Chains A and B, each alone.
Chain A
Amino acid sequence: MKRFFYLSLIISLFILLISCEAEFDPKVDLQEVYILNCIIRCDSSYQIATLSKLYDVNNYDPMSNIVDPSVKFAKIVLTDSSFSGQKEIYQFRDSSVARTNNSRYSTPQNFYYIKNFKLTKPGVLKIEATLPDGRILRSSSFTVPLDKYSVNYFHNDNPKYLSNGSLLFDWSNVKYELDYVKPYFLPEFIIKYSQFESGNWVKYQTKIPLSYTNVNGEEVPIYPEIESINRKISYEPEVIRKTIEMISKNDQDKNNYKIEKVVFMLHVLNNNFATYISLQQHYKSDFSISVIEPNYGNVWGGFGLFGNMHTIQLEVPLNNLIGNK
Chain B
Amino acid sequence: MQYLLSHIIIIVVLLINTIDLNAQEKGILRGFVSDSLNSEPLPYSNIFIKEINRGTTTDYQGYFIITALPSSKVTVYISYLGYKTKSLDVKIESGKISEIKVRLSPTSIQIDTVEAISKRVINENVSDLGLHKIAMRDIEYLPKGIELDPFRSLQSLPGVQSGGDVSSRFFVRGSSSNENLILLDNATIYNPFHAVGVISAVDPDIINSMEFYKSGFPVEYANRLSSVIKINTIEGNKNSLRAKAGMSLLTGKLLLQGPIPNGSFVINGRKNYTDAILKKFRNNNSLPVDFFDFYAKINYANDNFIQGAKFSFSTYFSGDKIIYNNPKREDFTWDNKFFAFNYFQITDSPFFFKVNISYSQFNGEIIPNYSGNKKIKNEVGDVTASVDFNYIFDNNDIIIGGIKITDIKTNLRVRNYLDFEDNQDVKGSSLSAYLKYNLLRFSFFDFDIGSRFHVTRLAGGGPSFFTEPRIGFTVKINPELAFKGSWGIFMQDLVTISDENEVVNVFEPWIITPGYLTPSSAIHYNAGLEFNPMNNLSIKLEGYYKIMHNLALLNSLRTIYNPDYFHSGSGKAYGLEFLTKYNYWIFDFSASYAWMNSFRNDYGITYHPRFDSRNNINLTLITNLGDGWITSCVWNFASGTPFTQILGYYDKLGIEILSDTPFLLDSYYSFMVLAGRNKGNLPDYHRLDLSFSKKIELTNIKLEMDFSLLNVYNRNNIFYFRRDTGERVNLLPLLLSFSVKVEI
Contact = CB atoms under 8 A, between A and B. Distances in A.
A55 B370 contact: no
Interface string A226-243: 111110000000000000
With most chain B CB atoms within 10 A of its CB, the pick from A69, A226, A291 is A291
B370 A220 contact: yes
How many interface residues does chain A have, given as a range? 35 or more
A295 B665 contact: no
Given A229-B420, A278-B418, A222 B647 contact: no
A295 B673 contact: yes
Contacts of B655: 277, 280
B101 interface: no
Contacts of B665: 48, 50, 97, 109, 111
A59 interface: yes
Given A24-B682, A283-B372, A289 B503 contact: yes
A199 to B, nearest CB: 25
Contacts of B21: none
Given A59-B726, A291-B644, 12 more contacts: A18-B686, A26-B645, A65-B649, A109-B666, A188-B658, A213-B370, A214-B327, A215-B328, A225-B419, A284-B373, A289-B720, A309-B658
Interface string A288-307: 11111111100000011100
A275 B418 contact: yes
11 contacts: A15-B713, A16-B713, A24-B643, A35-B652, A57-B649, A215-B326, A226-B417, A280-B655, A287-B506, A289-B720, A290-B499
A60 B648 contact: no
Contact of B502 (A18, A19, A20, A288): A288
B329 A286 contact: yes
A156 interface: no
Interface string A251-275: 0000000000001010100010011
Contact of B330 (A99, A220, A278, A285): A285
B715 A33 contact: no
Contacts of A267: 658-659
B424 interface: no
A207 interface: yes
Interface in B68-106: none
B645 A220 contact: no
B563 to A, nearest CB: 11
A190 B328 CA distance: 24
Interface stretch (B25-33, B209-217, B436-444, B554-562): B554-562
Interface in B270-306: 285
Nearest to A186: B658
Interface string A9-28: 00000011011111111111
Given A186-B658, A229-B419, A281-B372, A60 B725 contact: yes
A299 B499 CA distance: 25
B471 interface: no
A164 interface: no
A271 B560 contact: yes
Interface string B558-572: 011100000000000
Contacts of B730: 21
How many interface residues does chain B have, given as a range? 35 or more
A63 interface: yes
B2 interface: no
B680 interface: yes
B162 interface: no
A38 interface: yes
Contact of B643 (A26, A288, A311): A26
Contacts of A65: 649, 670
Contacts of B670: 62-63, 65
Contacts of B682: 24
B348 interface: no
B680 A265 contact: no
A131 B534 CA distance: 73
Contacts of B418: 184, 226, 228, 274-275, 278
A8 to B, nearest CB: 14
A195 interface: no
A55 B646 contact: no
Interface in A52-99: 52-57, 59-63, 65, 69, 97, 99
B629 interface: no
A270 to B, nearest CB: 10
A146 interface: no
A290 B502 contact: yes
A24 B680 contact: yes
A242 to B, nearest CB: 16
Given A288-B502, A305-B653, A26 B370 contact: no
A49 interface: yes
Interface string B635-656: 0000010011111111111110
Nearest to A272: B559
Nearest to B328: A215
Nearest to A282: B417
B724 interface: yes
B681 interface: yes
B696 interface: no
B297 to A, nearest CB: 33
Contacts of A274: 418, 560
A194 interface: no
Given A27-B645, A63-B670, A188-B658, A39 B419 contact: no
B657 A190 contact: yes
A162 interface: no
Given A228-B418, A295-B671, A303-B673, A50 B610 contact: no
A150 interface: no
A188 B657 contact: yes
Nearest to B368: A283
Contacts of B664: 37-39, 48-50, 111
Contact of A26 (B648, B651, B723): B723
B139 interface: no
A163 interface: no
Given A111-B664, A213-B370, A26 B680 contact: yes
A318 interface: no
Contact of A31 (B561, B647, B712): B647
B724 A54 contact: no
Nearest to B658: A267
A106 B559 CA distance: 38
Nearest to B688: A15
A55 B674 contact: no
A200 interface: no
B371 A291 contact: no
A45 to B, nearest CB: 13
Nearest to B372: A283
A232 to B, nearest CB: 13
A89 B650 CA distance: 29
A279 interface: yes
B645 to A, nearest CB: 5
Contacts of A15: 688, 712-713
B503 to A, nearest CB: 4
A278 B420 CA distance: 12
B472 to A, nearest CB: 38
A28 B328 contact: no
Contact of B651 (A18, A52, A205): A52
A30 interface: yes
A108 to B, nearest CB: 10
A54 B673 contact: yes
Contacts of A24: 640, 643, 680-683, 718
B669 to A, nearest CB: 9
Given A69-B650, A289-B502, A265 B659 contact: yes
With most chain B CB atoms within 10 A of its CB, the pick from A99, A215, A304 is A215
Contacts of B657: 188, 190, 205, 207
B50 interface: no
Contacts of B674: 291-293, 295
Interface string A168-207: 0000000000000010101010100000000000000101
A203 B362 CA distance: 55
